Amino acid sequence: MDFGQFLSYIGSGTVLTVGVTLIALPSGLLIGTLLALVYVYGGKVAARAMNLYSTIFRGIPPIVLLFILFFVVTKGVNLSAFWAGSLSLGIVSSAYQMEIVRGALLSVSGDQLMAARAVGLSRLQAIRYVVLPQAVRLAIPPWSNEAAIVIKDSSLVYALGVPEILRRAQLIGASSQKYLLAYLSAAVIYFLLVSLTTHLLNNLEQKLSIPSNP
């Protein structure tokens, strides 16, 4: 088998890799955003709880958390390894995305929240319509890094038996005994996925950026 055949076989797992990413990244963003709002606006007790959540999930290797969450998520629920693995990765990513959104929220001046309240908006409305839109713009650069990390971490679901890129590279490498070619093919595909995602998010950042005064 030549390099093109390896790419074709391993590349067929790209659909699953992209699928895992498209589940894990948005679910992590949703959970992370909610937790970040609690962290910033929920008071001292909530902040301590969120800090503990962040410390635990960022201090344990993702593969360990994946196995723990996999058996928790699938317990009593009929979920496939693909869905359980994807959701588990989303939960792992939520701790990192919480810190990203938290940093963006804190970067928005508190005076704007006070000004919004002064014109009659409730606290919730002020956060939703004034603070969050600005925080989203500020969060895109670090969030693009997390997107790249989630794409690469999607390879961890191979340990659950999901036939994504890395799993297919492992299988064809074992059958052909051409491990270098197999894993090099996987590396090329991951590199292309990360590069494309980074490019798209950079374009989004430019479109959402607020033009500076001349």
Output the pLDDT for position 12: 87
Output the pLDDT for position 213: 46
What pLDDT, in 10s, does the model give residues 74-109? 777 778 889 988 998 999 999 999 999 999 999 888
Cβ–Cβ under 8 Å, residues 180 and 3: no
The H-assigned helical ranges of 108-131 are 110-118, 123-126
Output the pLDDT for position 214: 46
From residue 99, alpha-carbon distances to 31, 43, 114, 178, 180 in Å are 11, 16, 23, 41, 37
Surface-to-core class of residue 119, CB atoms within 10 Å of its CB (0-12 exposed, 13-18 middle, 19+ buried): exposed
Q: Is the dihedral of CA 72, 164, 195, 174 positive or negative?
A: positive
pTM: 0.88
Q: Please give the DSSP secondary-structure letter assigned to residue 120.
A: T
Output the pLDDT for position 66: 87
Tens digit of each residue's pLDDT, the chain (214 residues): 667 887 888 888 899 999 999 999 999 999 999 999 999 999 999 999 999 999 999 999 989 988 888 888 777 777 888 998 899 899 999 999 999 999 999 988 878 888 888 888 888 888 888 888 889 888 998 999 999 999 999 999 999 889 999 999 999 988 888 889 889 989 999 999 999 999 999 998 888 776 654 4
Output the pLDDT for position 45: 96
Output the pLDDT for position 150: 95
Least Cα distance to 140 among 37, 29, 21 occurs for 29
Cβ–Cβ under 8 Å, residues 162 and 16: yes
